[in-house]
Structure 1
Amino acid sequence: MKHPDWEKRLVAVTERHLRTPCVWGEDDCLLTVADAIEAMTGTDHAADIRGKYKSKTGAYRLIKKRGYPDLASVLGSLFEGIPPAIAMRGDVGIYDSTAGYFTEYGFALKADDGLRFIPRTMVDKAFKVT
């Protein structure tokens, strides 16, 4: 269940990640999404994987070791899939094998030098965060 002030918390996460570079295992796309989810719900779904890998290859190895073929499967195990066209601010999704979340600025994705925002219409899969 979302905190009553989840929107303010989500803005704080977005501001914190705007210029924070991608560091695998510490601040990558999945962990940025986990930070957003934790800010909204209070649950850190990535607590047990933070710091357990140091590269993109290591991240995917860990995901596969846990029984998931890809990031969409990880998010799908936690949240209900929805059409991207009806996703709202705070929902999460996948664009080109990269996890992100919906904001008032578009779909936020972790890039090498911070967050990038793409049009929500480009998102491949979406999941409802409740």
Structure 2
Amino acid sequence: MNRFRIVEAALARELAKPYAYGSADCFMLGCAFVDALSGSSIVEKYCGAYRTLAGAQRALRRRGHMSLVSFFAAELEQEPKGGAEARLGDLVILRLSDGAEHVGICLGGRFVTKTERGRSDHGLADVIAAFHLG
């Protein structure tokens, strides 16, 4: 299967799941893409590690990270890149208007994340870091 089909299938699968912290949120969306494009199994590693937003923040700090950028830099063993370097299917960290960081996926000219209200599309200006997958 080519990269486009992998990205298309993974996005459809993850967005179809009802939003739930720790199993079907923006962080787990990113983890699912890491697994789909890299052949790893980080979904299993982190699924269920938290059940609330506050729990997610505590889980991040327990692992020694103050941001999603530093977490994924360590987990993926790579330095973050600028948003303009993101390719189709790459993982990005978005900073939204509420000031919160969200994990998203590059779809070429736009970036998508999963929120409690469903799919949320964003532009390059919202990307604070990108990580190549696959």
TM-score normalized with structure 2 length: 0.84
Find the counterpart in structure 1 of residue 111 from structure 2. Answer: 107
Find the counterpart in structure 2 of residue 44 from structure 1. Answer: 41
Corresponding letter in the other structure for 1:45: I
**Cα RMSD (Å):** 1.8
The counterpart of 1:123, out of the listed 122, 127, 134, is 127
**1:4-54 CA distance string (max 9 Å, x none):** 633311110111233433200111111111111111111122422211211
State the 4+ residue runs in structure 1 displaced beyond 6 angstroms.
Answer: none
**Long gaps (5+) in structure 2:** 96-100
Alignment of 1:66-105 (within 5 A): 66-77=63-74, 78=76, 79-96=78-95, 97-104=101-108
CA 1:127–1:90 in 2, change beyond 3 Å: closer, same or farther? same
In the TM superposition, residue 122 of structure 1 has moved relative to its aligned partner by 2.3
CA 1:116–1:19 in 2, change beyond 3 Å: closer, same or farther? farther
Contact conserved, 1:105 with 1:117, CA < 8 A, in 2? no
**For this pair of structures, how many residues does the alignment match?**
127
Q: Distance in 1 between matches of 2:43 and 2:16?
A: 21
Contact conserved, 2:31 with 2:43, CA < 8 A, in 1? yes
TM-score normalized with structure 1 length: 0.86
